[in-house]
């Protein structure tokens, strides 16, 4: 069973982050440049929230706010669900499904060491299932 640390070893441990006082425009611009759907919101070295494209759509666009004048702190999600590097992919899938989440920051000793998305988890699950199928086919044929 794969763990989050295995996913991070493959995809990398880059953490894209923004400060809570940064304007939302800066966060959206960074998401577009990095081709990601969410950023960790970090003050100093502490994770204080997460901001996503969904937050932007629901809390800025639909409320007719200015992305240049609204700080990230006003729209970020503060009750962040996080996982440890030794969490299983299955556990993360359950968290995402139950909480309707798309991104999980990975914390190790209170420090953000990566981020996994639902896409990363689905890819890992499919890969693991293909491997199991191949092993079963080899067993049946051989």
Please indicate, yes or no, whether the overall pTM of this predicted structure exceeds 0.85.
yes
Write out the two tokens for 62: 């639909």
Cβ 106 vs Cβ 99: under 8 Å: no
Q: The domain containing residue 61 runs over which residues?
A: 4-141
The residue among 129 and 34 whose pLDDT is bigger is 34
Q: Name the pairing type of β-strands 46-52 and 38-43.
A: antiparallel
Whole-number mean pLDDT of the chain?
A: 93
CATH of the domain at 51: 3.10.580.10
Question: So what's the pLDDT on residue 7?
Answer: 93
Looking at the predicted structure, is the pLDDT value of residue 17 above 90? yes
The total of structural domains in the chain comes to 1
**Share of residues in the chain with pLDDT > 70 (%):** 100
DSSP 106: E
115 token code pair: 């981020």
d(CA 85, CA 41): 19
Kindly indicate the confidence band of residue 141, based on its pLDDT and cuts at 50, 70 and 90: confident
Q: Report pLDDT for 118.
A: 95
């Amino acid at each position: 069973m794969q763990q989050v640390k295995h996913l991070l070893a493959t995809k990398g441990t880059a953490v894209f982050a923004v400060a809570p006082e940064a304007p939302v425009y800066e966060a959206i611009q960074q998401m577009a440049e990095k081709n990601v759907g969410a950023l960790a919101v970090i003050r100093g070295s502490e994770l204080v929230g997460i901001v996503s494209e969904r937050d932007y759509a629901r809390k800025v666009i639909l409320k007719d706010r200015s992305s240049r004048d609204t700080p990230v702190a006003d729209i970020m999600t503060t009750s962040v669900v996080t996982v440890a590097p030794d969490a299983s992919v299955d556990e993360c899938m359950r968290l995402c499904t139950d909480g309707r989440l798309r991104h999980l920051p990975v914390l190790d000793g209170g420090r953000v060491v990566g981020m996994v998305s639902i896409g990363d988890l689905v890819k890992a699950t499919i890969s693991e299932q293909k491997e199991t199928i191949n092993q079963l086919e080899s067993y049946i044929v051989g």
